[in-house]
Structure formats: structure tokens, C-alpha cells
Amino acid sequence: MASSNTDSSATTAASGQQKETQTFAFIAMTCLFFFWGFITVLNDILIPFLKESFDLNYTQAMLVQFCFFGAYFIVSPFAGRLIDKVGFQMGIVIGLLTTAFGCILFYPSADLHIYALFLFAFFVLASGITILQVAANPYVAALGPEKTAASRLNLAQAANSLGTTVGPFVGSMLILGVVAADASAVQMPYLMIAAVLIAAALLFRGIKLPKLAHVETNDDVSGDSVWNHRSLVLGALAIFMYVGGEVSIGSFLVNYFAESSIAGMEIAEAGEMVAYYWGAAMVGRLVGAALMNFIASTKYLAVNALIAIVMIIVSMNTSGNVAMWSILAVGFFNSIMFPTIFTLAVKGLGAMTSKGSGLVCQGIVGGALVPLIQGVAADSIGIQLSFIVPMMCYIYIGWYALKGADQT
């Protein structure tokens, strides 16, 4: 009897220690989500800034997102293989250092005042964030029971949304707030970000994160391929549509609000308004993290996609405050889409999780292509009507939620 009690106490203690370790790991990972959210949203501030500085049209300005999110498509497969070899923790360190190097490249790009060099810097920076995404998303999803994976990833994504909420305020103040559109205004902000990322890399190199045996494995699954998993493949396309729609809307907000028929704002003031778009996503993720413990994730995803479509239609057919606030409201309904689609796509992959994550993250290339398509539309039919492009993305997401994702 004494031996049984001792074993029970030891098991309880081990379970408690495991929970503490997982909690610490989750907090550390949420910091990563904040970092890359902050950096990514600065693109929305830099696009109108570089558009003015280099006298670009909408299509040319959207090359920023093309190069940034194009990195996800090119780098994701290599990131999956890298993480298979070095593990999630070292993958995070490499991702942070690569992102820091991309930030440093902004300094010579501004000095030489060459738009192509800026685009290369965006590609390098995004390559680092791609590695972080491929490592962090499945790791957070696996830090606990599978049934609460979507809720847990939504909570981590809320930290990402905090970064995307703070970013526009900081970017507008340090970059759009300058007297003239001088490319050198980006130098110090990005050097400061690089310093923080290097410090974070050193921190992650030193801390001890728990290994997750059921996802950290180099074993090949005989006869299996990521292309054999329907929900995964369709989920990667859903991520393409989601990131494309969300990024495209965010990329046009500053110029949209500067239109006399919408808000007629000064560019710096319009830049600060972008924070409401991403802030709404933060609130939505906190709400979603709670509600999806009780509501099926597929149904919640479908409802959010439908309301996002309605909000875009309203904005396209109105003017003034109604057009402005309805498009900002799309941010709230974007909120749960990425983590929900991600967990639906990689569910049950086991040893193939890192490869599946790599495929899903390739779908983030939607952020490169959809804004470019909307840029072409804006140059031809006007910025307001061009929002039909992201609207089509949400139609597919609604279909995926109801028909494309495995319901088992």
C-alpha cells in the first residue's frame, strides 16, 4: 500500500512538473508570436511610405508583400527539413537570427536608396519568420491535449495580434511621422528590432524547452505523403486565401482611408487607424479561444468567413465612416482563421507534422499574390471596388470550413 501511494505521489509530481514546463514553454512561444506579428504589420506602414518615397503605383508598391510572403512559399519546405534535423528549439534560434539579418539589410538599402534592395531585405526578413512559423505553430498545437489545440493556438495568436496592434502606432510615429518621405527613416527602427531579435535568439538558445516526441521525429512514414491528406492540402489552400485576404486588406487601408470619399485622412493618421484592424483581430482571438472550447471549430470558422464577406460588401457599397469601420471590422472576423485552419489541416499527422506544417506555411504565399492582384485591380477599377479580390478569398474559406476540412 505504501509503495502504491509513493508511486501515485511520484506520478502526480511528475505530471505537475510537466504542466509547469509546458506552461513556461507556451509563454516563451507567445513572445515569438508577438515579435513576428509586430514585424509583419510594419509592412502595412512601409507600403505607403515606400510608395511615396519611390513614386510607385499600387502594383509596384505591392511588390513589398510579393517578396515578403513569397519567401514563405520558397523557404517553407526547407524550413520543415531544417526543423526535422535540428529540432524545434534550434529552428527557432535560426529563424530569429535570419529575421534579424533581414532587418539589418534595411540600413544599406536606405543608404543606397534602391527599391530592389529593400525588396531583397523583405525576402530575407520573411525567410526568418517562415522558419519561426513552421517551428512554432505545430509546437504550440502539440503542447497539450489535441482537442484544445485550436483554442491554445488562438491564445498564442492573440499575442501575435498584440504585436500587430502595437506595430502601426510605433511605425506611424517613427516612419510615417517624418516630415519628408526619406527612406533613411527606416534605418534606426529596424536596427533596434534586429537588436531585440538577436537578444531573443540568445535567450532561446539558453532556455530548456520540452521535447515533444510525437512530433519531433525524423522517422519517415512508409508509403505516406502529405499529398495523401485531403484536409491538409485543402487547408494549405485555405491558408493561401486567408493570408492573402487579410494581408491585402491591411496593405490598402492607409491609402483607402486617405481617399476623400472614405475618410480623407492624412497618411500618418490613416496609418494609426490600421491598428484598429489588427486590434480587432486580437480581441477576436481572445473571444475565439474561449468560445471554441464549446463551439465546433469548423462552424465557428464558417460563421466568421460569412460575416467577413458581408462587411466587405458593405464597405464596397458605402462611403465615409460606414465604409471605414466596416472594413476595419473584418479584422475581428479574421481573428480565429489562421490557427483554426492550421489545426484542422495538420490534425492527426503525427510524425509528418513538421512536413505538413511546411506545406501549410507554403500557403502563406497568398500574402504575396493576392495583394498584387488587388493592386492591379485598384489601378484599373479603383481602390474601393478592388476589395472584391479579398472577398473571393473568404468565400473559399467558408467552403473549406463546411466541406473541405475533415469533420471526424
In this predicted structure, what is the pLDDT of residue 179?
45
CA distance 321 to 179: 28
Burial of 300 (0-12, 13-18, 19+ CB in 10 A): buried
- Tens digit of pLDDT at every position of the chain (408 positions): 555 555 555 555 555 556 666 777 788 888 888 988 899 888 888 888 888 888 899 999 999 999 998 988 888 888 878 888 888 888 989 999 999 999 999 999 988 989 999 999 999 999 999 898 888 877 777 776 766 676 777 778 778 878 888 888 888 887 766 545 566 778 888 999 999 999 989 988 887 776 655 455 544 555 567 777 788 899 999 999 999 999 999 999 999 999 999 999 988 888 889 889 988 988 888 888 788 888 888 999 999 999 999 999 999 999 999 999 999 999 999 988 988 898 888 887 777 776 787 788 788 889 999 999 999 999 999 999 999 999 999 999 999 999 877 654
DSSP annotation of 61 = H
| Cα–Cα–Cα angle for 26, 29, 34, rounded to 5 degrees | 125
DSSP string, 229-252: -HHHHHHHHHHHHHHHHHHHHHHH
62-91 CB burial, b ≥16 within 10 A, e <16: bbbbbbbbbbbbbbbeebbebbbeebbbeb
359 within 8 A of 232, measured Cβ to Cβ: yes
DSSP string, 304-335: HHHHHHHHHHHHHT--HHHHHHHHHHHHHHHT
Domains within the chain, CATH numbers bracketed: 18-208+224-404 (1.20.1250.20)
296: which 3 cell numbers? 465546433
In this predicted structure, what is the pLDDT of residue 2?
55
78: which 3 cell numbers? 526547407
In this predicted structure, what is the pLDDT of residue 194?
94
In this predicted structure, what is the pLDDT of residue 296?
87
179: which 3 cell numbers? 516630415
CA distance 42 to 165: 10
125-150 CB burial, b ≥16 within 10 A, e <16: bbbbbbbbbbbbbbbbbbbeeeebbb
242 within 8 A of 395, measured Cβ to Cβ: no
DSSP string, 98-157: HHHHHHHTHHHHHHHT-HHHHHHHHHHHHHHHHHHHHHHHHHHHHSS-GGGHHHHHHHHH
Sign of CA dihedral 38, 40, 44, 45: positive
243-275 CB burial, b ≥16 within 10 A, e <16: bbbbbbbbbbbbbbbbbeebbebebbebbbbbb
